[in-house]
Amino acid sequence: EIVLTQSPGTLSLSPGERGTVSCRASQSVTSSLLAWYQQKPGQAPRLLIYAASNRAAGTPDRFSGSGSGTDFTLTISRLEPEDFAVYYCQQYGDSRYTFGQGTKLEIK
Amino acid sequence: EVRLVESGGGLVQPGRSLRLSCKVTGFIFENNAMSWVRQAPGKGLEWVGFIGSKAYGGTTEYAASVKGRFTVSRDDSKSVAYLQMNSLKTEDTAVYYCTRLDGYLGLDYWGLGTLVTVSS
């Protein structure tokens, strides 16, 4: 199975700053079928980005995704208070889907 | 409005079985693949398994941690997906989420989850 490793584990930033989360795959992700999800405490995860760089319906344009092959990035251009949450990457190009371990974005 | 509502969670002893259900409204269930994802208390997300639509043969696939113990199935006439969990272990304790699976969008709709606690 494809192992996804996210970094950093925790990101401490202030509102208005730029946030970047990395997701590295143990092997190439087929067709860049990699998604990013946001999860807030007590809530179900929510799809933010699909196929590496496409914003899902309702995702603000301050969120962007990039990358291909084994290296992917989620960028939040200017952090809003509601963006502080846990973020997960997930690959679905291989039939055995896998998630990264998560990155907690916390207020500094 | 799309809704996925899980049910069937609860407290179960190790070695026993439990079946979760996921009732779907708001999209044409029979045309879509469905997946289950779980989250142990305080931990990250773990994909459990999926079932394809009948048009794609109803193919199933599972995570190694549950293969041979868990089975995903569907009843298109009722718009319900199921997760049959056998030989439960304490490490299966988690919130179980039902999701719609799209081959390009990924897991685009999620239920609120149902808690399964495996304990003696």
Q: Which of A4, A32, A47 would best serve as a mutation to test chain B binding (most B beta carbons within 10 A)? A: A47
Give the β-pairing of A103-107 and A10-13.
parallel
Q: What angle do CA B80, B42, A11 make, to 5 degrees?
A: 115
Q: Quick one: pLDDT band at residue B56, thresholds 50, 70, 90?
A: confident
B64 → closest Cβ in A1, A45, A90: A1
pLDDT at A95: 84
Answer yes or no: do B105 and A47 touch at CB < 8 A: yes
Q: Quick one: pLDDT band at residue B94, thresholds 50, 70, 90?
A: very high
Determine whether B13 is exposed, middle or buried from the number of CB atoms within 10 Å of its CB (0-12, 13-18, 19+): exposed
Which of A35-44, B9-18, B50-59 is predicted least confidently?
B50-59
**Tens-place pLDDT, residues B20-34:** 999 999 999 999 999
Determine whether A42 is exposed, middle or buried from the number of CB atoms within 10 Å of its CB (0-12, 13-18, 19+): exposed
Task: Using alpha carbons, select from A74, A87, A96 the residue that is nearest to residue A27.
Answer: A96
What does the mean pLDDT of chain B come to?
A: 97
CB of B48 within 8 A of CB of B64? Answer: no
* Structure tokens given for B95: 């919130």
pLDDT at B82: 98
CB of A21 within 8 A of CB of A6? Answer: yes
Question: d(Cα A81, Cα A11) in Å, to the nearest integer?
Answer: 14
pLDDT in tens, chain A (108 residues): 899 999 999 999 999 999 999 999 999 999 999 999 999 999 999 999 999 999 999 999 999 999 999 999 999 999 999 999 999 999 999 888 999 999 999 999
Nearest chain A residue to B60 by CA distance is A95
Residues from chain B that touch A56, judged by Cβ atoms under 8 A, are 105, 108
